[in-house]
A and B are shown apart, each in its own frame.
Chain A
Amino acid sequence: MTSFFGQIGRFAIHNTAGMGRTFLFLLSALAWAFRPPARFRLIVHHIRTIGVESLSVVILSGVFTGMVMGLQGYYSLRKFNAENFLGSAVALGILRELGPVLSAFMVTGRTGSAMAAELASMKVTEQIDALYSMAVNPIQYLVTPRIIAGLISMPLLTAIFDVVAIYGAYVVGVQLLGVSSGSYFSGMELSVVFKDVLSGFLKSVSFGLIITWICCYKGFNAPPMARGVGQATTESVVLCFVMILVWNYFMTSIML
């Protein structure tokens, strides 16, 4: 019995300490953002890897998400003779929920996993130790630019996803199923308010932080063995997905 409670205690302490380390890692990375030298080149480089290189997968997923929403929305709304509300239904769903969440999923799969694997590999091959030994802080050099790049890239990718998805739904709803183009866009104009756009924007910024933070932390703290790279990659993707969904719920409940 004692050993059972001991195990529970050890589990709790281990996980609480882990959470503490994760938050300290984030605080350290954010603090380094305000200390020289500013690493603009690295930030631009990571905006390219997180933003530009994720663009194709975000556009592709945006198009098909929009098309499915157009299709499903049309058949659901038709039951109530409300096809003309397709534009507003699609826009609200995409701007508030699907745009930020799905583009965050795409970036996690496309870039977050690669980020975790790259940092884990650097850990295993002592490259992070090499940075420490050259008196270069690896958190400032490797993590902070990625977090800043994530904060900049995610809202832009989400905006692109939103636009592409809305046009994807337009193609299906208006061009294929015959909803009036005017009602599609005017319904959208009437129902979407600034708060909806702001909600999506804030979500995407916070998801950018979650993805870069978790993936960098997992990569940075990978066990120093070949298996550690795979472990860090898997754990970072799973944890990002879970955290995005949980955080999305809280953000939605706050911003409704």
Chain B
Amino acid sequence: MIRVVDLQKRFGRQHVLKGVNLDIEAGKITTIIGGSGSGKTVLLKHLNALLLPDRGSVLVDDRDITRLGQTALNQVRRKFGVLFQGAALLDSMTIYDNVAFPLREIARLKETEVEKKVNEGLAQVGLAGAGYKFPAEVSGGMKKRAGLARALVVQPEIMLFDEPTTGLDPLLGKSIHQLIRQMHAAYKFTGVIVSHDIPEVFEISDRIAMLADGVIIEVGTTEEFLASENPMVRQFVHGDTEGPIAVL
């Protein structure tokens, strides 16, 4: 369970998060939606303390991770897997070595075990046999799948997905969504997805939260969310250019 309490973040004069409150339920997939530049990724990066807030707290299993020292924070971070927007694969390494990286660096497994787990992980995401390639040699979709394999290989309790389908065509996007669903069914992780891939992302989400003007304006199950009377939510979900959200 992750609890975000009164989270505030400024970058210079730009007040991005103005007091975000959000409960992320364990074992479920929560999707945070919102317009471009609304601060979704900033909020996501606070969940494993890649960014620290100016005010407020992020509680992971009742521990405020914004106030932890480096060692304690690293222990908490080991609960997390992250799929970054561009996959963030280490480009000096092959895909195999990228997936093996957390097993060698953190889990410190023997090479025979690493090989077994990496091959399993790559097969799960449909990249069996592609491990020898470097990130620069594969497509965007393959990078995302490799990033997913790297994040999941240590079987994290919590998975963070930063716009997992951005830059992919609709079919590839759908395959990534299906993969997230399959992996969620297999590993039972708590998932947090940041996306504006509407309505596709609703199919894989248990709960939806919408971020606008630096605060969470609506949160609920997918059904509750779709039935929301909030005009900002309705405008965003239906893709209307006219309404309370200024488009241009």
**B86, A134: Cβ atoms under 8 Å?**
no
Asked if A136 CB lies within 8 Å of chain B CBs, one says: yes
**Residue of B with least CB distance to A136:** B105
How far is B88's CA from A131's CA once the two chains are assembled, in angstroms?
Answer: 9
CB distance from A229 to the nearest CB of B (A): 13
Contact A126/B88 with A134-B77, A135-B78, A135-B106 known, Cβ cut-off 8 Å: yes
Q: Is the CB of A134 within 8 A of B106?
A: yes
Question: Is B48 among interface residues, defined by CB-CB distance under 8 A?
Answer: yes
The total of chain A residues at the interface (CB under 8 A) is: 15
> Are B101 and A134 neighbours in the complex by a CB distance under 8 Å?
yes
Contacts of A126 in B (CB 8 A): 84-86, 88
- B70 within 8 Å of A (CB atoms): yes
Instruction: Determine the residue in chain B with the shortest Cβ distance to A121.
Output: B91
0/1 interface trace, chain B 74-86, chain A, CB 8 Å (1 if under): 1101101010111
Report the separation of the CA atoms of residues A23 and B82 in the bound assembly, to the nearest whole angstrom.
31
Q: Is the interface of B mostly helix, strand, loop or mixed?
A: mixed
Chain B residues contacting A130 (CB-CB under 8 Å) are 82, 84, 88-90
Which A residues between 119 and 159 are near B, CB-CB below 8 angstroms?
121-122, 125-127, 129-137, 141
Tell me the complex Cα distance, A110–B44, Å: 38
Within the assembled complex, what's the spacing in Å between the Cα atoms of A73 and B103?
Answer: 60
Asked whether B105 lies within 8 Å of A134 as measured between CB atoms, the reply is yes
Chain A residue with the shortest CB-CB distance to B160: A133
CA distance A181 to B80 in the complex (A): 69
Q: Given the known A-B contacts A134-B101, A134-B102, A134-B105, are A129 and B77 also in contact in the complex, defined by CB atoms under 8 Å?
A: no
Q: Quick one: which of B45, B70, B74, B75 contacts A129, CB cutoff 8 A?
A: B45
* C-alpha gap A37/B108 in the complex (Å): 11
Contacting A at CB under 8 A, from B43-79, are: 45, 48, 50, 70, 74-75, 77-78
Contact code string B228-247 (vs A, CB < 8 Å = 1, else 0): 00000000000000000000
Question: B160 contacts which chain A residues (CB < 8 A)?
Answer: 133
| Chain B residues within 8 Å of A134, by CB | 77, 101-102, 105-106
List residues 9-47 of chain B with CB under 8 A from any CB of chain A.
45
Within 8 A of A (CB), among B171-203: none
A125–B88 contact, CB under 8 A?
yes
Are A129 and B105 interface neighbours, CB within 8 A? no
User: B106 contacts which chain A residues (CB < 8 A)?
Assistant: 134-136
Q: Which residues of A contact B70 (CB under 8 A)?
A: 137
Contact partners of B91 in chain A: CB under 8 A: 121-122, 125, 127
Closest to B92 in A: A118
CB–CB A127/B90 < 8 A? yes
Mark interface residues in B102-131 (1 if CB within 8 Å of A CB, else 0): 100110000000000000000000000000
Determine how close the nearest CB of chain B comes to the CB of A133; give it in whole angstroms. 4
Residues of A within 8 A of B85 (CB): 126
Q: List 29 A-B contacts (CB under 8 A).
A: A121-B91, A125-B86, A125-B91, A126-B84, A126-B85, A126-B86, A126-B88, A127-B88, A127-B89, A127-B91, A129-B45, A129-B82, A129-B88, A130-B84, A130-B88, A132-B50, A133-B50, A133-B77, A133-B80, A134-B77, A134-B102, A134-B106, A135-B74, A135-B106, A136-B101, A136-B102, A137-B70, A137-B74, A141-B105
- 7 smallest beta-carbon distances between A and B, as pairs: A130-B88, A135-B74, A126-B88, A135-B77, A133-B82, A126-B84, A134-B102
